[in-house]
A and B are shown apart, each in its own frame.
Chain A
Amino acid sequence: MLTAEDKKLIQQVWGKVGGAEEDIGADTLWRMFHAYPPTKTYFPHFDLSQGSDQIRGHGKKVVTALGTAIKNLDNLSQALSELSNLHAYNLRVDPPRFALQFLAQCLQVVLAVRLGKEYTPEVHSAVDKFMSAVAAVLAEKYR
């Protein structure tokens, strides 16, 4: 459960990376494809070379969606409802607890790279919990 403190930390972290959504998104996705090749199977239609426009564009989309979620931490289910439908019925990404685990790990690495010491254990914990909550919402309608 996200505590009030967690929510504060998440919003603070996001504030620190404001403006860099596209870079963060692209870096996260590139690391995910590189470190977890099976995740590429969902993007056969993409140019997956480093720095590709499609990776940048999609990375920005993902991070923007996370930003929306962060603005609605008290009502994630509703905020992510459309995305939840999309993942369950169209994209059918293997239950998010696997796919998002890799995305979450890579996002955390990217944030840690950027924030260094500021990526404290408390912040790490809050972001981890947040990503778990997002994964749970996205998996809600799978079956």
Chain B
Amino acid sequence: MVHWSAEEKQLIASVWGKVNVEECGAEALARLLIVYPWTQRFFDNFGNLSSPTAIIGNPKVRAHGKKVLTSFGEAIKNLDNIKGTYSKLSELHCDKLHVDPENFRLLGDILVIVLASHFGRDFTPACQFAWQKLVGVVAHALARKYH
């Protein structure tokens, strides 16, 4: 089980409390598809992904980004059992979606950068540390059921 200090929990919660899940989720997913274009392989049916502008404006990208980040919220509500929270999603990503777990790490890092650009100096080193830890734990949990 992952140990979270009181400070880490507080830093995670305080940032999360200010996050617009729809905007942030959309932005993080769009950046994943832009910065690491090979990740587009998982989204053949999303329509126009031909340029950064197209990706950012794509309604399917926005909707899916929101879905992904909403799911992140579940992890934050269940910091003491992220493994359990993501058990089914892990199986899904392996068996149905066939996503290489490396992509979870990429998305996690991108999310941290998105938060940094939104929160500026409020995204302190301690904040970054807590969030890098969180995205790492989520990535690990999502990869756990792979076989």
Cβ contacts under 8 Å, B118 to chain A? 116
The interface size bin for chain B is 20 to 34
Distance in angstroms from B128 CB to nearest chain A CB is: 6
Total of A-B residue pairs, C-beta within 8 Å: 66
**Which among A35, A114, A122, A128 is the interface contact of B128 at CB below 8 angstroms?**
A35
Cβ of A1 < 8 Å from any Cβ of B?
Answer: no
Q: Is the interface of A mostly helix, strand, loop or mixed?
A: helix
C-alpha spacing A79/B1, complex, angstroms: 46
Given A34-B128, A35-B129, A35-B132, residue A121 in contact with residue B116 (CB < 8 A) = no
Cβ of B109 < 8 Å from any Cβ of A?
Answer: yes
**Which among B27, B31, B34, B126 is the interface contact of A34 at CB below 8 angstroms?**
B126
Q: Please report which residues of chain A, range 19-40, place their CB below 8 angstroms from some CB of chain B when the two chains form the complex.
A: 27, 30-31, 34-36
Cβ contacts under 8 Å, A112 to chain B? 113-114, 116-117
- Assess the B34–A109 pair: CB atoms within 8 A: no
Considering residues B30, B34, B128, which has the most beta carbons from chain A within 10 angstroms of its beta carbon? B128
Closest chain B residue to A114, Cβ basis: B120
C-alpha spacing A106/B124, complex, angstroms: 11
Closest chain A residue to B106, Cβ basis: A128
- Assess the B116–A105 pair: CB atoms within 8 A: no
Closest chain A residue to B27, Cβ basis: A121
The chain B residues found within 8 Å of chain A, CB to CB, are 27, 30-31, 34-35, 52, 55-56, 109-110, 112-114, 116-121, 123, 125-126, 128-129, 132-133
